[in-house]
Amino acid sequence: AGITTDPWVEAATVTTELPSSVHVKIVEREARLITSIGTKLYLVDTKGNIFKEVSESDPGDLPVVTGIEPAAITKDREGVKLRLRRVIDLVADLEHDKVAARYPIQEIHANADGGLRAIIGSDGIVLELGLPPYRTKIAKANRILGELRFRAAMPDIIFLDNRVHPERVVVRMRGDQSKTAKR
């Protein structure tokens, strides 16, 4: 029969029950991210699947993921899916620690080395997170952001990516060209 494919439908099952019943079960996708690939924007579901190009009627208030190259999708679709799932986990951690409530997530950049950079808040504060795990790094960022907010100070970048000394965090303040405020 005429089956149409709707990108919002993740799965559909039809079962019949004799003598005259038909049951239809539809599982819809939930958009979690927008990813910028080449010159186009695509929606990403909660499992890391890129499922459709963004249109005017789609949600536009989702975090945007950058750093995914079009060639990567062709070469290693599963690898791209894993990178997007890492971003989804990071977004969930930022929401869990209430960072995203005060500083909405604007963009997550997936670096070529597998690390992540988050740009948060209306002022575009950069959290240089590096490689996982992220929970401890996000908790540190939350404490630092709270302290800086208390001091009415505006950070530009918070470096949480020191592999040799993960306990060290470096903050570069707005208008400062050198890394300052070591913690």
What pTM value is reported for the model? Answer: 0.84
pLDDT of residue 3: 55
Condensed to tens digits (0 to 9), the pLDDT of residues 129-148 reads 999 999 999 999 999 999 99
Q: What is the mean pLDDT of residues 152-175?
A: 92
Of 47, 73, 69, 45, whose CA–CA distance to 59 is shortest?
45
Burial of residue 85, with CB atoms counted within 10 A of its CB: 0-12 exposed, 13-18 middle, 19 or more buried = middle
pLDDT of residue 20: 86
Burial of residue 52, with CB atoms counted within 10 A of its CB: 0-12 exposed, 13-18 middle, 19 or more buried = middle
Q: 91 near 65, Cβ under 8 Å?
A: no
pLDDT of residue 52: 94
What confidence category does residue 1 fall into, taking pLDDT thresholds of 50, 70 and 90? very low
Res 183 pLDDT > 80: no
Res 125 pLDDT > 60: yes
Backbone angles phi and psi of 174, in degrees to 5: -55, 135
Q: How far is CA 131 from CA 24, 111, 135, 153, in A?
A: 43, 9, 11, 27
Res 81 pLDDT > 90: yes
Instruction: Kindly report the number of other CB atoms within 10 A of residue 175's CB atom.
Output: 7
Percent of the chain with pLDDT over 90: 70
